[in-house]
Structure 1
């Protein structure tokens, strides 16, 4: 089965409420998404709710947990930290009996992630049989170029040297000119399990389709911006892949739905828009052998439209066929978030019929675990604020922080109080921002001078935060004497909470 490009929105009403039911016998949308890779499926995140996802109950207070950060020099903290550096030092704990299973699951997940790394596109790293297959495919394509199989009649001219007068390209890469062409041909080979003739047939059909669809003219066509909130690119994952977000719930807007799928002409325009979006995204990729030439997909299934919508079903069927046939191996990982319980149940039925390669790229996360799952792949400072991260629209952002300022994420256990202790050894202005995904906690900030018997300055009085509050809390404090800043988060619930924070210091004169 071929690796696919962005497909249409899901065909189910994916709200997590049980009262809004859908027909579970209909085909699921897990193989569809404006930027999804149809053939890739895995289950690294269960969506069955456990006790931590159920009704909130108060717990007796557990011992306070504290992590400590030391501020030595402001210049050091203003430099961007390495991507893998964690500015919080935490003592390792022996796993408790109740945590052993969780520890094993994390180790298993780590092994799974390691085994799912993308294949190398360096020819020297390929097996002997794969190198042979690539060479054979290049020979077939060279013969086809000499016979003008990929050119229209007006282009079938040769220059005085007897070579092709017109250069044939795909996704902006000239065929057989350099090793970038090899990277593209490897995508077709992998989509067809390195069966050379099948890969060549797929490539030839794709070339003919691109010409008949008018891809070169489509790139510059003005198709409007009505769907810019349905599918958008935002930042990169930890491996450097651009991240594409697919927000299916936007189609709950009846006006937008009618404008997009109301008749055959509108559905044809929708297909052209999706192909155009993908083409523009692909042309920004790096097709050098060591470059990033795949996209990280995030599909938000919250409130997505239902299968009963005939127009959407038609658009889906048409789009899937086009995209799965012509865009092989362009997805690095496909993460589904806000997944309802029945969605995974349906997947478990069809999963045995899929290949290991097919299952290897899909990840499912329930609403309660969506943010935590995204943070495994995308730094929290690069995850949009609406999905639990700290990245906001540039016009709304806190000017003190940008996506280049790394954040720390940590888990607050149920019924515990977490204190982030920032020890300051210089006079300065310290600024910070903090969020707890989903809130339902009490948080506050205070400064404690180092002087023995000194007073405590309450910067932010402890306040109970709810999901209706602003997602990110900002704060600042002018430190006129040495001491420590304490950021306190009290989690009284039975749910684990994900805490994000980052800070920087500035000279006191600023």
Structure 2
């Protein structure tokens, strides 16, 4: 059987939504047939394998009782995760559930949230924002291990490598705590893996750890990850993915999305709203942002050779206008002006016209109108031969607002 490698993301946002909708419909049909009381009763009998041969009537996973007799809303949600992970093959799903319960007991996972792993790995993976379906988003930053001291500390001994895995499992457990494990609730996470400036096969211990983490996560956290999106992918990644492929289930492979550096923002926008994408990835989200909160993001498309103007109204009262703007792939001419409502007044140049290259990130600027009504005009001139997508938002702050 030929090994599979994740293909570079090329689907449109509508296609992604249709794909997810189709998957949900198919799975709902399957669940109606397969998830019977007999299957659930068989699954919760796992504790018979305990040494005392007794059934734990309080058995639960992620704070959700597994026994149907408990009447918990989340019981079906948890059992369906195991069934989906094994293509609705009841016996295989049952075995998977048993192994997960055994693994959690052996590794004391239920108490892992109380363990302190220090701050050394805090920048290597963290939760930040939500996606289009309100799923929590976890960012994994691989290049932190380019720091030789951190690399040697983390992978220098078997004990430290085991600590790394436990830290990763703790992060997963923290993410699950943010979920609503009920029918219709948010029941999975979105994982983003940033490979910018990270080494390839030379960091052997790192990729062994990645493989081990993937195997444990796919076997013991079924269907808790909606997608694994790899961004800023270098060419060497395809070699590594082919090495990892034999260890991945088909279900896991189907959730892999790959984006080369030029397609990062475009790919992330298929899963995450612009206001939730961190600025370093082309979105508008900034740490401790005091300017914007829930303001809507608008977008326009520019045909090759066309010009678009975006107008931001300025009130008659004195206030400050703040705006964010980003053009995917840029390569445009751009300028900002304040045009007073008084026809006899002069137009004020806020930002001189200039050519903006493809590597430019989102731009934020502001203007105080000093009590003069009018409008801010943002002009984007698409001088390239490609269609451009423009994202923007704005806010007006007066003396009585913030």
Q: Is TM (by shorter chain) over 0.5?
A: yes
Equivalent residue for 1:137, pick from 39, 54, 67? 39
- The residue aligned with 2:9 is 44
| 1:113 equivalent in structure 2 | 17
* Structure 2 residue aligned with 1:309: 203
CA contact (8 A) 2:136 2:178 kept: no
TM-superposition CA deviations, 1:173-217 (whole Å, max 9, x none): 222231302111111111111111111111111101100001122
Q: Which residue of 1 aligns with 2:269?
A: 375
Question: What is the Cα-based RMSD across aligned positions, in Å?
Answer: 3.6
Residue in 2 that maps onto 1:208: 102
Residue 487 of structure 1 corresponds to which residue in structure 2?
A: 378
Which 5+ residue runs of structure 2 have no aligned equivalent? Answer: none
Aligned to 1:503: 394
Give the alignment partner of residue 223 of structure 1, picking from 104, 107, 117: 117
Q: Hey, what's the Cα distance between the residues in 2 that align with 1:434 and 1:490?
A: 17
Deviation at 1:218, TM superposition (A): 1.7
Tell me the TM-score normalized by structure 1: 0.68
- Determine the C-alpha separation between the residues in 2 that align with 1:407 and 1:383: 12
CA deviations over 1:109-140 (Å, ceiling 9, x no partner): 6234312238659x9865542233xx233111
Q: What is the deviation of 1:254? A: 1.1
Q: 2:155, 2:249 → 1: CA distance? A: 33
Does the 8 Å CA contact 1:116/1:360 hold for their aligned counterparts? Answer: no
Q: Find 1:332's aligned residue among 207, 210, 226.
A: 226
8 Å contact from structure 1 (residues 443, 487) kept in 2: yes
Call closer, same or farther: CA 1:128–1:373 in 2, change over 3 Å: closer
Equivalent residue for 2:338? 447
Partner Cα separation in structure 2 for residue 352 and residue 217 of structure 1:
32
Q: Is 1:277 aligned to 2:167, yes or no? A: no
Partner of 2:323: 433
3-state SS in 2 of match to 1:270 = helix
2:171 is equivalent to residue 171 of structure 1: no
SS in 2 for 1:116: helix
Match for residue 400 of structure 1? 291
Contact 1:271 1:315 survives alignment (8 Å): yes
Q: How many residues align?
A: 395
Structure 1 residues 348 and 311: CA distance shift in structure 2, 3 A: closer
- Displacement of 1:331 in angstroms is 1.2
Q: Cα deviation per residue 1:130-172 (whole Å; 9 max; x = unaligned)?
A: 233xx23311134444x4x35x65x96xxxxxx95x6222112
Q: Which has the higher contact order (CA 8 A, sep 6+)?
A: 1
d(CA) in 2 for partners of 1:275, 1:508: 48
Determine the C-alpha separation between the residues in 2 that align with 1:256 and 1:352.
30
SS class of match (1:225): coil
CA contact (8 A) 1:434 1:499 kept: no
User: Secondary structure in 2 aligned to 1:502?
Assistant: strand
8 Å Cα contact 2:319/2:397 also seen in 1: yes
> Which residue does the alignment assign to 2:366?
475
Is the contact between residue 319 and residue 396 of structure 2 (CA under 8 Å) also seen in structure 1?
Answer: yes
The change in CA–CA distance for 1:244 and 1:475 in structure 2 (over 3 A counts) is same
Farther off after superposition, 469-478 or 257-266:
469-478
Which residue of structure 2 lines up, in the alignment, with residue 419 of structure 1? 309
Deviation string for 1:397-452 (max 9, x for gaps)?
3x2212x2222244445554432123457545241223435655543322223444
State the distance in 2 between where 1:198 and 1:284 align: 28
How many angstroms apart in 2 are the aligned matches of 1:385 and 1:350?
31
Q: Which residue is equivalent to 2:350?
A: 459
Structure 1 unmatched runs, 5+: 1-26, 31-40, 46-104, 157-162
The SS at the match of 2:270 is: helix
Whole-angstrom distance in 1 between the partners of 2:93 and 2:171: 25
Cα distance between partner residues in 1 of 2:283 and 2:74: 35
Q: Which protein is richer in helix relative to its size?
A: 2
